[in-house]
Chain A
Amino acid sequence: MSTNTLTPAAPAPAKPTKPWEASISDRIKTAAIFLGSALFTVGLVAVTPLKGKLAYAIVFFIAFVVIDYIYNVVKGGRAAGADSLFRGFVTAAVCLAITPIVSILLTVWVRGHKGVHWTLFTKDMHSNAFQDPANQGGLLHAIIGTFLLVLFAMIISVPIGVLTAIYITEIKGRFTRPIQFLVQAMSGVPSIVAGLFILASIVYPLTKTLNGFEGSLALAILMIPTVARTSQEVLLLIPQDLREAGVALGGTQWRTVIMIVLPAARSGLITAMILGVARVAGETAPILLLAGGNNSVNWNMFHGPMGSLPNYIWQSFGTGTPDSVTRAWAGLLVLLAIVLILFGLARTLGNRKVGK
């Protein structure tokens, strides 16, 4: 006697239905509308004097929206038609928002990769002019300069930014709201104003000459709000239990913050730092006013002008010959690669769970 015959066969579980999902016939209809408007577009552009990629895109978009609208009005009435029109609008908007990103990335790669070669990273420009063919000279001085500028900006701005965030999240004193407001206001300070400020406060009254450190100070002003706001968000994510545990173990507030809260937020704080660096690495206007340009490697932040990637790009672009413009794009490619790497790092660290 097998057990099979005793237990009645369980009824096959009913498949959950998802009435809101597009059925196969819906998908076929969408594809048909898509194809139909594509055919219409090709036909119209071929017959009329409309020309170019833009004509294709616009005619296709209009055709698709109109056909989709008519179909929906016939099928579901005016409300469904309005819905389809709006869907067309938001889809177009997101395409328009993405197009420049794709175009910028492609342009930098297509125009820049010709100018990238190994000597770029081993030589500087002290014996070459910007008009020279792009395979002569290099941007070692610019990379070192940008590295130093950003490093010093980081040393100045990260403590200030993190302290600001700690004040807002841990101390929660009388000034919390004003400080939050001021940090937001500070993130809107135009970069050229930061440059002018350092000129007015340090260069003219005190040093009278340009050097890298002044550039770093201007970058630090631009970096503080980014670091402060990102750190603040991270610190707010730290569970209150951790702080209470610290206090319950007899810790004073500063030991709780230093030994429990900050270590728990470590990866988030590093993310904040990296985002700040990515924000200022390509900042051009204050660098042009303050750090000056230098065509050879300069390791001294406190003496003499300091080259940098934005400055190198700016000078090459300003020279205006085909070779120098290739140089500018190669410089941009290097700069963009640095920014992308930093951004990727920040993303991977930021996606880790808080407290790890």
Chain B
Amino acid sequence: MTQTPPVTPPKREITTKPRFSDKVFRGVVTGGGLSSLIILGLILGFLLYEGYGTFKSQGFHFITSSNWNAVVDANGLFNAKASTFGIAAMLIGTLVVAVIAVIVGVPISVGAALYLTFYAPQFIRKFMVTAIDLMAAFPSVLFGLWGFFVLESSGEYWAKLLNKYLGWIPIFKLPTPYVQHSPFIAGLVLAIMIIPIVTSVSREVFSQTPLDRIQAAYALGATRWAMIRAVAFPYARSGIVGGVMLGLGRAMGETVAVYTVLNIVYQVNWHILFSAGGNIASMILLKFGEASPQEIKALMAAGLVLFLMTLLVNSAANYIVNRSKSGR
């Protein structure tokens, strides 16, 4: 009996080279992943393409002048020479309402986040976090109608009080006593709309305060306020700044709520209690209905300006938030 020599199986190839199926998979997933880049690029490209003519004919005046005149001559043709498009008034209006929103909304949001992180008992925290998250899902038209029918009446009263007692400050002056549908009220509605996002970002950064430092502060005899001032605030500062800028970005891009609440008048208005204002987004919606094709091109240009503004603010905000989350 002869012994057959043991058959050694052929050596398996050991490789880190992905198989064909994996290559396809990675290709598909990478393609899907890059879609956000593609979409953002396309938005930029198409708005630039549509708005380019306006930028070219108006030049720098597009963002420095506040005349919006689409001139149509006797034959019903669009007169490109005589027409002027400038969005300065709406640009300033956008900033005014967004800044009011931030000034009113941020102390409330940060205070609420502090309460929910360091003060609230478990059941209250759970309930309130759910409620505030829920508010983030409310449609903006709901905020608009609520502001129009409910907040407006209280808001007018507060505006009159502000004007009566703080009227000597220039921004609270009233050229004529009309306080209905003012930027002040639009700012209040936007403040309410940004509360959820600013609160949740601040809550996230506060809850990451290192526990050992909190305990150390308490062990040294700090009261809760002293602990927050010495430990939580310095730790969370940059994260909160990022959250505030995210809120600012949201407030700048809001359309329907501002359109509903605000009396849109095409003029530069620094008197926040006076019944005139607007922002770029709501102006686009207002003018879009009866705009001629050439005017729509100008609106596209305005949309591009808005897009770039919000993109800039949001990117800066995300950069700050991400850095404060991963760093330290």
Contact = CB atoms under 8 A, between A and B. Distances in A.
Interface of B: 18-19, 21-22, 24-26, 28-37, 39-40, 42-43, 46-47, 49-50, 107-112, 114-116, 119-120, 128, 130-135, 137-143, 145-146, 149-150, 154, 157, 192, 195, 199, 223-226, 228, 246, 249-250, 252-256, 260, 281, 284-285, 288, 296, 299-300, 303, 306-307, 310-311, 313-315, 318-319, 322
A181 B21 contact: no
Nearest to B130: A347
A94 B256 contact: no
Given A83-B224, A181-B315, A186-B40, A93 B115 contact: yes
A329 interface: yes
A90 B118 CA distance: 10
A104 B142 contact: yes
Given A185-B40, A188-B311, A160 B139 contact: no
Interface in A75-111: 79-80, 82-83, 85-87, 89-94, 96-98, 100-101, 103-104, 107-108, 111
Nearest to A182: B36
Contact of A160 (B32, B46, B119, B256): B32
Contact of B141 (A167, A282, A289): A282
**Chain B binding site: helix, strand, loop or mixed by DSSP?**
helix
A190 B257 CA distance: 13
Nearest to B259: A285
Given A83-B224, A253-B18, A314-B256, 18 more contacts: A86-B225, A93-B108, A93-B109, A94-B120, A97-B112, A100-B192, A163-B29, A175-B34, A179-B36, A188-B313, A188-B314, A190-B310, A191-B140, A199-B296, A255-B21, A282-B142, A313-B145, A347-B130
Given A94-B112, A107-B150, A197-B42, A340 B35 contact: no
Contact of B33 (A93, A96, A164, A254): A164
A332 B142 contact: yes
Given A197-B46, A339-B137, A98 B131 contact: yes
5 contacts: A97-B108, A160-B35, A164-B32, A192-B281, A192-B303
Contacts of A97: 108-109, 112, 128, 132, 195, 199
B256 A193 contact: no
A91 B149 CA distance: 27
A147 interface: no
A193 B285 contact: no
A278 interface: yes
A160 B28 CA distance: 10
Contacts of A91: 115, 119
A190 B18 contact: no
A104 B115 contact: no
B318 A190 contact: no
A221 interface: yes
B263 to A, nearest CB: 15
A201 B281 contact: no
B112 A167 contact: no
Contact of A87 (B36, B195, B224): B224
A257 interface: yes
A26 to B, nearest CB: 15
A283 B253 CA distance: 13
Given A54-B154, A182-B37, A193-B307, A93 B139 contact: no
Contacts of A204: 50
Contact of B25 (A83, A257, A285): A257
Contacts of B249: 188
A83 B226 contact: yes
Nearest to B281: A192
B110 A93 contact: yes
Contact of B223 (A82, A98, A108): A82
A186 B140 CA distance: 18
Contact of A285 (B30, B35, B137, B256): B256
B29 A101 contact: no
Contact of A332 (B145, B192, B246, B255): B145
Contacts of B150: 103, 107
B115 A253 contact: no
A238 interface: no
Given A83-B224, A86-B228, A184-B318, A284 B40 contact: no
Nearest to A344: B134
A56 interface: no
B33 A175 contact: yes
Contacts of B43: 189, 193-194, 197, 221
Contact of B49 (A178, A191, A200, A282): A200
A222 B50 CA distance: 21
7 A-B pairs closest in CB distance = A282-B139, A163-B32, A93-B111, A190-B253, A167-B33, A188-B314, A254-B25
Nearest to A77: B223
Contacts of A257: 25
A224 B19 contact: no
A167 B142 contact: no
Nearest to B224: A83
A184 B139 contact: no
Contacts of B314: 184-185, 187-188
Contact of A107 (B40, B137, B146): B146
Which of A111, A184, A221, A339 is the most central at the interface, judged by chain B CB atoms within 10 Å of its CB?
A184
A332 B141 contact: yes
A335 interface: yes
B255 A336 contact: no
A343 interface: yes
A83 B225 contact: yes
A90 B119 CA distance: 9
A82 B225 CA distance: 7
A339 B139 contact: yes
A332 B140 CA distance: 11
Contacts of A313: 141, 145
